Structure 1
Amino acid sequence: MEDINFLISKWEQILQKLENNNGKVHPIEIGKKATLQEIEAKEKELGYQLPPSYKYILNNLGKSISFYYSFSEDTIIPSEFKEIYSGEINWNTDFLQNLNRLADELMEDGEDYGSTLRGKLEFSHAGNGDVYAFDMSVESDEKPVIYWEHEEDKVTYVADSFIDYLFKITELGCIGSEKWQLEYFLSDTGLDTTGPAAGKWKYWFESFSETTLDDVKNSMEQLITFVVYRKKLDKETIDFLQKFNRNELFDFLLEELHKKEAFNDQKIICEIIGRVLGIYAETWVRSLWEAKQDNIDTRLRSYLTSMCINKDRGLSLVINFLEQESNKKITGYEALSHLGEFHSRDVISWMENHVKFPVTEGWYQLFVRSNFSWDDLERWTSLEEKHEVTVIHALEMYADEKVANNKKPHVISDLPTKSEFIDFLVKLRAKQVLKKRTMAVENLIQNINIFY
């Protein structure tokens, strides 16, 4: 029983460590111990003798166990292990399944799929639907633990036995059950807990702690790493970033921008440049328009332009680019991704000649983000159907955001009295043919107070 007590103690330590660092933790839940009679009945049902170490655990620990954790978003996991975000162990005798039967069913369906399931006995599964199983075709009492990928119909060797699997996965911090979390430590002989990757991971896991803004606020490099990792830039963080030397900050951000390959990493760095440095970066941003730039996404160039260049000049640059690149066949999502950060009514004027059905694909969102006024509402509802529908969806979105109070919608300029707004909506409702649009406008009428 010492081995079982050791495992439970390690699991409790792992979960406590995560909890101490604001991770999400689901405590250990252990089912009743299996009797020898229950184990024999299960073996008869399955047509297999269960592996000795598995039976030992069922008999001395429990027929089922489950626990789970996920790291706090403020825990900066090393980039070489970026796919690891959680950990768990689970099994349940109710999961036990002779996979020969599933393979037969798949063959009967005429699928060239599932042949690797033969001779396997499922005992658990990963969150993505992949399977943990014993390879019962191996001629030994203990049976290896394998992982079956349901999309690839592929088998990966994980451990020599069930008890071997438990000790190795525990040594690695009980990292998540999906293969992409395990593969850093997988070799031809299964989980490798002694190699260089495992050594780095275990060292980090043993010493990690949640990173807070206070921990990194005095180091430019650490603070930027913190922001890029979390993909979140709030006012408090901006205030700390603005305390650093602007030349040094700008140079470091450009260096990081050129290192990053993922769009979301580049995006948050551009957001730092735009919101922290602003006009200071104008010369560089202008240079992005003067020569062919292959190392920055055009959407990011448009964002930087909205933040770092005079609004009128910047908007002109982006609109000219959109019209030239798209040959005037501009999609709503494309327009939103390039013009959404200008928050300018001039964008609404430009949209008038470009909006098209379906307006739900970016156009009405752009209308809202361009700080529409009462005049815009009146004008657009006097134009074509596509303009009317844009207004209806835009008012719905505006109302939803105001209720949620999470994006703090702008105040609609020149908004008339409540009764005049209702009259406007009543007339708009009367013009609608489709029931869903009529109902949408009626809902706005019923909730008119949201706008005041």
Structure 2
Amino acid sequence: MNAMDAVGRLSKILGSLAAQGFVTRPLVADPPASPGEVDAVEGQLGCRLPMSLRRCLATVASRLEFAWFAPPEHTFPGPFHEIFSGNLCWSLNGLPELMTAVRGWVDNVFPDPSDPYDRVWHHKLPFMEVGNGDYLALDLNEDAHGRVVYLSHDDGEGHGRTMAPSFEDLLIRWIPLACPGAEDSQWLPFCAPSDGGLDPSSARAHQWTALVRPKNGPSAVEGL
């Protein structure tokens, strides 16, 4: 599976979940951006986008919004009891605003690069704001350039965890799980030990997909 194939399944995933009573939002997928449009945003940011993100913006979609919510009365069993939604979004034109917000956190709350917690916030390009005030971001440090990292503002367990080694790989790993989260407590159950990132082929991932498998008919989600 590649990133484009993964994104192409999102509409079917929403349809499958809606048929089971989940609340879903319409999928938004804008046409890919031109090289000139990407260059213009890089100029606003003052940095080059990691190549994996740039490819997705130029070949998959310049903006994407995907979201679902479990019914209020629905509770998943442990270790999935904290999952109540799924969310994935990005926007080329929204990157400068997100970068400004994260730089504000760095300047005012996490300014010390010698502090292990603060350091995680430095040299990151946010691409998605989490509803609780955290962010998903791409590492801009040379030794880990392009990896997807979680930024928590309040000591979240996922702070600094690598979700995937690249933006494209995040889509390939997360979409087969229907993108639980994006709060760290919702996707951490699917991470490999230590800092291995999301693993959609794990035994726990198969347990999860069995819980949201349609009662009748084929599934749109890998492994369901």
Same fold (TM over 0.5): yes
SS at match of 2:212: helix
SS in 2 for 1:116: helix
Give runs of ≥4 in structure 1 deviating > 4 Å.
73-76, 98-102
The answer on 1:168 being equivalent to 2:173 is yes
Letter in 1 for 2:47: Y
Note the C-alpha offset of 1:128.
0.8
TM-score (norm 2): 0.80
Q: How many residues align?
A: 205
Residue equivalent to 1:71: 70
Q: Distance in 2 between matches of 1:101 and 1:129?
A: 13
Aligned pairs (5 A) from 1:284-433: none
> What is the distance in 1 between the residues matched to 2:161 and 2:81?
21
Match of 2:57 in 1: 58
- 150, 156, 162: which one pairs with 1:157? 162
- The structure with higher relative contact order (CA 8 Å, sep 6+) is 2
Q: Secondary structure at the match of 1:133?
A: strand
SS at 1:45 equivalent: helix
Q: Specify the SS of the correspondent of 2:143.
A: coil
Q: CA deviation at 1:208?
A: 5.5
Q: Separation in 2 of the partners of 1:116 and 1:138?
A: 14
Q: Note closer, same or farther for the CA distance 1:117–1:74 as it changes in structure 2 (3 Å cut).
A: closer
Question: Matches of 1:158 and 1:45 in 2, distance apart?
Answer: 27
* 8 Å Cα contact 1:83/1:181 also seen in 2: yes
Pick the structure with more helix per residue.
Answer: 1
Decide whether aligned partners of structure 1 residues 40 and 185 sit closer, same or farther in structure 2, where only a CA change above 3 A counts.
same
Matching residue of 1:95: 95
Q: Which runs of 5+ in 2 are unaligned?
A: 217-224
CA distance in 2, matches of 1:5, 1:129: 28
- The CA deviation at 1:138 is 3.5
- The root-mean-square deviation of aligned C-alpha atoms, in Å, is 2.7
Taking a change above 3 Å as real, the CA distance of residues 149 and 76 of structure 1, as seen in their structure-2 partners, is: closer
The one-letter amino acid paired with 1:95 is L
Q: Which residue is equivalent to 2:126?
A: 122
Per-residue CA deviations over 1:306-325 (Å, capped at 9, x if unaligned) read xxxxxxxxxxxxxxxxxxxx
Q: Distance in 2 between matches of 1:128 and 1:38?
A: 30
Label 1:129 to 1:107 Cα distance change in 2 as closer, same or farther (>3 A). closer
Letter in 2 for 1:143: G
Cα 1:208–1:102 change in 2 (3 A) is: same
Tell me which structure has the larger Cα radius of gyration.
Answer: 1
Percent sequence identity over aligned pairs:
27
In structure 1, give the amino acid aligned to 2:212.
F
Larger proportion of strand: 2
The separation in 1 between residues aligned to 2:141 and 2:111, in whole angstroms, is 22
C-alpha separation in 2, matches of 1:63 and 1:119: 23
Conserved 8 A contact 1:19-1:25: yes
Shift of the 172–53 alpha-carbon distance from structure 1 to 2, 3 Å rule, reads: same
Q: Describe how 1:39-58 pairs up with structure 2 within 5 A.
A: 39-58=38-57
Asked if the contact 2:128/2:135 (under 8 Å) is kept, the reply is yes
Q: Which letter maps to 1:148?
A: L
Cα distance change, pair 25–144 in 1 and its aligned pair in 2 (3 A): same
Deviation at 1:73, TM superposition (A): 4.4
Name the CA distance, whole Å, in 1 between partners of 2:52 and 2:200: 20
Question: 1:11 & 1:78 partners in 2: Cα distance?
Answer: 24
Check if 1:194 corresponds to 2:201: yes
- The amino acid across from 2:164 in the alignment is A
Per the TM alignment, residue 100 of structure 1 is displaced from its structure 2 partner at its CA by: 5.2
> How big is each residue's C-alpha offset from its partner over 1:208-264, in whole Å with a ceiling of 9 and x where there is no partner?
58xxxxxxxxxxxxxxxxxxxxxxxxxxxxxxxxxxxxxxxxxxxxxxxxxxxxxxx
Question: Where in structure 1 are there 5+ consecutive unaligned residues?
Answer: 210-452
Give the corresponding residue for 1:139.
Answer: 143
